Amino acid sequence: MSQREAGDSDEGGDLAGLSLVLGLGATGYSCARYLHGLGVEFAVLDSRAAPPLLASYLQEFPDAQVELGEFKVEQLCRASRLIVSPGIAVSTPAIAAAAAAGVEILGDIALFARAAQAPIVAVTGSNGKSTVVALLAAILRKNGSAFGLGGNLDGENFKPALELLIAEREGARRSDLFVLELSSFQLETTRELNATAVALLNLSEDHMDRYADSTAYLSAKQAIFNGAQCAVVNVDDPLTRPPQPMASSLAYKPSGECSDGLGIGGAGNRSLCWQGEPFLDLEACGLRGSHNRSNLMAAAGLAIALGVPLTAIAAGATSFRGLPHRSQWVCEAHGVEFYNDSKGTNVGASLAAIVGIGERVVAAKSSARLVVIAGGEGKGANFSPLAPALAQFARYVVLIGRDADRIEADTAQARGSCEAIFAADMAAAVSAAVDAAQAGDAVLLSPACASFDMFDNFQHRGDEFIACVSAAVAQSEN
């Protein structure tokens, strides 16, 4: 590959020797672009015969060294380091063998942390990451901050973290701050993030097809605390605390008052308070549901840790209207509301949506209930934690996808209060939900599963739900 002379950038000083980028998805592509700009020696490997970005990569780098097919130990051991994409497990036998032989294992966020010249703020957790990061971005915009936004994001906000550094190298305005959403997969290849402020929002069973147990999953998430200056912690949830004492922490308490941090208070407990003093009317915020109260407080806590004034936090929170596919209000027809929570890709996310929206629906009309559409690729999850919430808030659960039978079995204790209906596809599921819902009810798509058994991604699934709802509503009005 034609490259700049090694040593042209101080960033590449600790990247001597061959680097092998494993995976040519969006993150791997960004790693290759970053290394190419540094002028260091690297090659790209992908276990797939035809990676989706291969043609684009070869068009940009026609002399690129790319090797396809199953990873081989001898192939990996010739490198000084492996830069592993988040979608590839470091427990893959060839990668584990290379690590045992002394080959360094890292990921794109480790590269980013080594090179970033501005403070880093980072968010992880099983659920709510994208909402918290997007809300923090809205707050920072109101504050006039110059920041870069990247990491494990989706939709219009998606940008691999290294693309932020590449853009600066190519002449873009330098950021005063970097805001990153990070997955456990990214953190498990990051020894020290050295962030200014971090938050681990929550932990619920997810990715059990990749981790041995929930303890291993938590351990991967907790890498976000390594080298951090301040942790923003939910005092109602012990799992959000760092495993070791830190120099600084900032507390928030979604369940009530918190005299030394963020809490709920004021007249009717309708205000967000800092150290007991109200500064934001919760009813003025665009985010709804109890789960979003926690998200709001986490974003506010990170902003306070950065020194952002409370006035800017309040302005950003009231301007933010949430993200698509996350408890997104779709429409109301014949007294029934429809919500799209396609981003509910695990049990914890769907539990939060069922409770959060269920509480609103029941508060408005005591006899009202939810009709929940769930199902898909379950990733080895146990769905039984959904049963009490379904029994309390749902009239029916409409099940689709590969693990529909498993969800039905795991939530059997909810039968009687919440009956199960099986549907072949999204159109049939929406039709069944419309038939089952009564005036005052809400139909909620919150699958508790990944989408890949039936859809391209969770966005595709959510768009299909919205389209099917629109068609069903139009048909009912003819």
- pLDDT (tens digit, 9 = 90+) per residue, 135-154? 999 999 999 999 999 998 76
pLDDT score at 127:
87
pLDDT score at 9:
39
CATH code (residue 461) = 3.90.190.20
pLDDT score at 208:
66
Is there a domain that residue 278 lies in? Answer: yes
Is there a domain that residue 368 lies in? Answer: yes
Residues 6+ apart with CB under 8 A from 348: 126, 127, 202, 203, 204, 205, 206, 385
Question: Which of the listed residues 64, 89, 106 is the one where a domain comes to its end?
Answer: 106
Residues 127, 87 share a domain: no
pLDDT score at 6:
33
Q: Which residues of the chain have pLDDT under 50?
A: 1-10
Please identify every residue annotated as catalytic: 129, 152, 207
Instruction: Residue 317: name the closest of 473, 147, 191, 138 by CA.
Output: 138
Residues 185, 70 share a domain: no
Is there a domain that residue 42 lies in? Answer: yes
Residues 144, 230 share a domain: yes
Is there a domain that residue 233 lies in? Answer: yes
Residues 338, 301 share a domain: no
- Show the DSSP H helices in 170-277 as ranges: 184-187, 214-221
Residues 94, 164 share a domain: no
For residue 35, how many other CB atoms are within 10 A of its CB?
Answer: 24
Question: Which of the listed residues 267, 295, 319 is the one where a domain comes to its end?
Answer: 319
Residues 383, 461 share a domain: yes
pLDDT score at 11:
54
As for how many domains the chain has, the answer is: 3
Is there a domain that residue 3 lies in? Answer: no
Q: Are 305 and 311 in contact (CB under 8 A)?
A: no
Longest C-alpha distance within the chain, in Å? 71
Question: Which of the listed residues 84, 106, 128 is the one where a domain comes to its end?
Answer: 106
Extended beta strands in 130-234, E state = 147-151, 177-181, 197-200, 230-234
Structural domain for 15, as ranges: 10-106
Locate 75 and state its tokens: 């192939």
Residues 191, 299 share a domain: yes
Residue 220: phi and psi, rounded to 5, are -65, -45
Is there a domain that residue 139 lies in? Answer: yes
Locate 317 and state its tokens: 């929170």
pLDDT score at 7:
34
Residues 218, 81 share a domain: no
CATH code (residue 70) = 3.40.50.720
